Amino acid sequence: MLTYVSAEEVPDYIALHFLAKCTPANDFTHLCSYLCIDGAAQYLSGRVQSVNFKEPNLEDLFLDLEWRLGSKTAKNDIYEACGKPPPFLPTVAVAKPWLSCTFSRNLQ
């Protein structure tokens, strides 16, 4: 599929939809499916191919696509889907909701 996408110069979002459906599922297909989610990607086009899918090294292509994930939440989700620890830890308020309650009680 990657050969087809690069030879036909399919637009970014269509290429990612094709690649996300490839089997067997692996880290690369998970990344492509997360990039297809609305608002998750940056610097991708629906009209032209701006990603170099002809990249001979699949790891470099993976890193280029990973860079295009826009939000920390999306990056954490892809790492969890791949079975790896997320690169961005949750904020204190999310990690410890009781902390804000304790803090507000101490102020009173």
- Confidence at residue 104, expressed as pLDDT on a 0 to 100 scale: 46
- pTM listed for this prediction: 0.69
Cβ atoms of residues 65 and 31 within 8 Å: yes
| Cβ atoms < 10 Å from Cβ of 53 | 22
Percent of the chain with pLDDT over 90: 0
The average pLDDT across 8-37 equals: 87
- Confidence at residue 107, expressed as pLDDT on a 0 to 100 scale: 47
Cβ atoms of residues 70 and 36 within 8 Å: no
Non-local (6+) Cβ contacts of 54 within 8 A are 6
C-alpha 31: how far from chain center: 5
Cβ atoms of residues 108 and 97 within 8 Å: no
pLDDT range class, residue 85, cuts 50, 70, 90: confident
